[in-house]
Amino acid sequence: MPRSTGEKYVLGSLDARSATRLLHASSDFALVLDDDGTILEVVAQGDDAAARAMRSWRGQSWLETVTAESRQKVEAMLHDAQASADAAARWRQVNHPV
């Protein structure tokens, strides 16, 4: 999860603009979260209904955008990210209703 540095968010040593470009080029969609799990930015490919729906998640808690069976997984990922920014993230399947 990118860490906040004032007004900028970084992914490793990348600035926010470069990180966004990298995420856009390498994924169908990506979420940029703050330390509390609020969605700051959605990087989604295309302009179909699903991409537009995902972009509407800005400002919402990530927990509010996932299906009921994914809530515990998201809570665990947020907890792990808050506990240690240096810890390797464990992969999990998360479902969204889109």
Q: Tell me which residue has tokens 């994914």.
A: 70
Radius of gyration (C-alpha) of the chain in whole angstroms = 13
Alpha-carbon torsion (24, 56, 75, 34), positive or negative: positive
Q: What is the pLDDT of residue 7?
A: 46
pLDDT for res 40: 92
**pLDDT < 70 regions, the chain:** 1-12, 23-24, 85-88
**DSSP per residue over 37-75, as a string?**
SBEEEEEESSSSHHHHHHHTTTTSBGGGGS-GGGHHHHH
- What pLDDT, in 10s, does the model give residues 60-86? 999 999 999 999 999 999 988 888 766
pLDDT of amino acid 66:
96
With contact defined as beta carbons under 8 Å apart, do 22 and 10 qualify? Answer: no
Q: Which helix (H) or strand (E) holds 93?
A: none
What are the backbone dihedrals phi and psi of residue 72, each rounded to the nearest 5 degrees, phi first? -65, -35
- Residues near 44 by Cβ (< 8 Å), separated by ≥ 6? 28, 29, 50, 51, 54, 55
pLDDT value of residue 1 = 46
